[in-house]
A = this chain, B = another copy of it.
């Protein structure tokens, strides 16, 4: 990158020692005489020497780098990444930095051959998989990774054969919390917007925690009050309009994500109703926007900074052959004004 880059050979030359010694000295090997070390460091500094990581990575066969593959939801808008993942991206970046690892980031389309894409293989010691896991082939692809002995960890999506490779928030518990709260607030007509099928493991767990808890309290979720939606405010808006058009009036909505909740609030207001007086709305994720909506969103917080740290920690544990760390994050209900 620099016009004339200094190599360890140059240093060796000026210091009057061998390359081996330079290499050892720079990495602070105890095998090198202190005097020599000092001299080497001086010259290195003077020459503005920087190790060539390509060379050292090649030799040592490890890169101190983690690759982050961010899968996009093919159905959502190209130009906008879900703020939750953006925030994850930020925290993973920071967590890597804290651990002295570099981070390679790339977007991946679920439907393309990211197996091949991750040919960054030799540049990264491990992979973090982030994004939507409800895709055909996903498990098969993960299996291939396992077969290749590729170290990886994913967020949200299950890894059928190796649960310890998947970090997630306790979505079921989150759903329970929401239900308990609504029950305590005497809401009896609760709707759900999201994907209540196994297709979307995270949403499904949220729904189940929600439904089971309501049932425990003798409440039921009418099938017509379960509306399918993807994680965008547009989708939430449409779903809510459908809900509002139903005969039986509802008084609470559990939106499987904050973006959905935001769309829901918009639809409710448009219909001339009030949040939370007429209809309570609770989201999930606690994205940065959540505290700025009107009314501020009551939602389930899954800490992205903790999640990021957990992902990185889990991966590093694998790389160092240490025992796996905790894989579930306890979410917490953040009570604001929308419920």
Contact = CB atoms under 8 A, between A and B. Distances in A.
A238 to B, nearest CB: 17
A124 interface: yes
A126 B2 CA distance: 10
Nearest to A59: B54
B107 A104 contact: no
Contacts of A106: 93, 97, 102-103
A2 B61 CA distance: 11
Interface in A148-167: 148-151
B53 A123 contact: yes
Q: How many chain copies?
A: 2
Interface string A102-115: 11111100000000
B120 A102 contact: yes
Contacts of A90: 81, 86, 89
A245 interface: no
Contacts of A2: 121, 148-150
A185 to B, nearest CB: 22
Interface of A: 1-3, 5, 48, 50-55, 57-58, 63, 65, 70, 79-81, 83, 86-87, 89-91, 93-94, 97, 102-107, 116, 119-126, 148-151, 262, 288-289, 292-294, 305
